[in-house]
Homo-oligomer: A and B are copies of this chain.
């Protein structure tokens, strides 16, 4: 499999963690979002949303949208599981994951930042914007995770953890104060101590600048 990604993309980071947790080998193909490589015709033909990640499977199928890719991985490579078996628990884990995947990441990504700047906003305005949505999102996420478990839900990392850790990376990048969220940073530390998470870190990627 080939994963088209970008070192700092939090959505590509999610998929890297999942591939590592499921011990799947893949080739990493960097797409430089800052220079606009995602808009080049060859890449846009692969991924009409002109975004990362794209996972090209062994039979050449291009899968897009990180949350759809994660579902596909879970369905085709079920072990180790990213979701519990019980339907209600699955819904709880997914709700936490979507709290980041729909309520935080989409309003903070590069194209939104570029649009706000084109509307006359400064870098400080944009950082305040990003931190505002992360604060709300992390507060909600803190309410949703299980109490006292090693990871977000239970004693193994799963879908919620692999959405959380990349978003916390982004929070640190923009100097957000994370002291109100000790439960989340504890889970983060436990995740990053695992090889699957550590190897997926942005700074460990070949295209890290």
Contact = CB atoms under 8 A, between A and B. Distances in A.
Contacts of A64: 95
17 contacts: A48-B139, A48-B144, A49-B99, A49-B103, A63-B91, A64-B95, A67-B67, A67-B102, A68-B95, A68-B98, A71-B94, A76-B87, A102-B105, A106-B107, A107-B107, A115-B129, A119-B125
Contact of A102 (B50, B65, B76): B65
B49 A68 contact: no
Interface string A125-157: 100010010000001100110000000000000
9 shortest A-B CB distances, which residue pairs? A68-B94, A48-B143, A65-B98, A72-B91, A106-B106, A65-B95, A68-B95, A49-B140, A64-B95
Contacts of A51: 103
Given A102-B105, A106-B103, A87 B67 contact: no
Contact of A69 (B91, B129, B140, B144): B91
Interface in A82-128: 87-88, 90-92, 94-95, 97-99, 101-103, 105-107, 112, 115, 119, 121, 125
A42 interface: no
Nearest to A139: B48
A23 interface: no
Contacts of A27: none
